[in-house]
Amino acid sequence: MPGVTNKRKKKMRATERTWKIVAVFSTILAILFCVLLVKTTVTGAQTQKVRENASAMQQSGDGTALFTSSPGQQNAGETASSGSLAGSRIIVDAGHGDTDVGTIGPLTGRYEKEVNLEIALKLKAALEQKGVDVVMTRGDDSPLGPDEEQDVGVRKEADMQKREEIIENANADLFVSIHQNRFDDASVAGPQVLYLRTEGGQEYGTEFANAMQNALNEYLPIKKPRGINGGDWRLLKKGDQPGVIIECGFFSNPEEEELLQTGEYQNKLVTAILNGIENYLL
């Protein structure tokens, strides 16, 4: 029965073509599914990486993200992890200023505020050479509060509030305040670093303070090296960055009073402070 046989052959060929078409479409669908799966996996990994980076930025002191930890407790050095200070942000505070002159040199009559500013400006220049974004609380002796205010106490409070505002808004990696010391015993000398110890006994910034104190003691010609000391210092409570107050030396010590006013010794101080910052951040 030739007619039936031909019909069967035609039917079989049609079936084969159908299965071939189905096989081709199945292959195409399988390829598309694999592509989609790979793309989804890569996108998910990228999303997770972004989340991890965002989380790390919140926890680090990289100068581009807000901190979520308490003062002095955050992890520092994320910005400088490449071995450079470039890209970090540091607040430099020249202590006192305007009508608040600070301590006065018994021999020279120099105001502490003047020497503080001299050293702070040199530190600013040295940090900027390293690529640091420096935020100064003051760059000269102009009042930070209302110039027309005659009450010295009100004027000083306005000054402090402005400094606090600068610190809060800086989103910095570190805070360094420059001061000069004094003591009743004229034989006492040497730089000392102060950190925040609250009235409740909580301590912040001790690691940074130790790094700075060690750098000062190692680089400067100090006969009797001093250790760090904690106190409930107002400006160290502001911002989330670690902060220290550096008492560069004692105006009450005749030798040190004159030494602190020389350009050569001020440059050594700046180098030592820079070393302390690098030792802490890098």
With vertex at residue 72, the alpha carbon angle to CA 69 and CA 77, rounded to the nearest 5 degrees, is 90
Q: CA 253: distance to chain centroid? A: 33
Domain-embedded: residue 184: yes
- Tell me the C-alpha distance between 169 and 164, whole Å: 9
- Closest alpha carbon to 95 in 165, 163, 182: 163
Same domain, 96 and 230: yes
Q: Is the pLDDT of residue 58 over 70?
A: no
Average pLDDT, integer, range 144-155: 91
- The DSSP secondary structure of 109-134, one letter per residue, reads --BHHHHHHHHHHHHHHHHHHTT-EE
153 phi-psi bin (left φ>0, alpha ψ -120 to 50, beta other): alpha
Condensed to tens digits (0 to 9), the pLDDT of residues 84-127 reads 999 999 999 999 999 999 999 999 999 999 999 999 999 999 99
Q: Are residues 130 and 198 in the same domain?
A: yes
> Do 154 and 197 belong to one domain?
yes
Measure the CA–CA gap between 57 and 44, rounded to whole angstroms: 20
Is 145 inside any structural domain? yes
List the beta bridge partners of residue 135.
91
Q: What is the pLDDT of residue 145?
A: 86
In total, how many domains does the chain have? 2
Asked whether residue 49 falls in the same domain as residue 98, the answer is no
The string of pLDDT tens digits covering residues 212-257 is 999 999 999 999 999 999 999 999 999 999 999 999 999 999 999 9
Please provide the average confidence, as pLDDT, over all residues in the chain.
81
Say whether pTM exceeds 0.85.
no
Domain shared by 12 and 98, yes or no: no
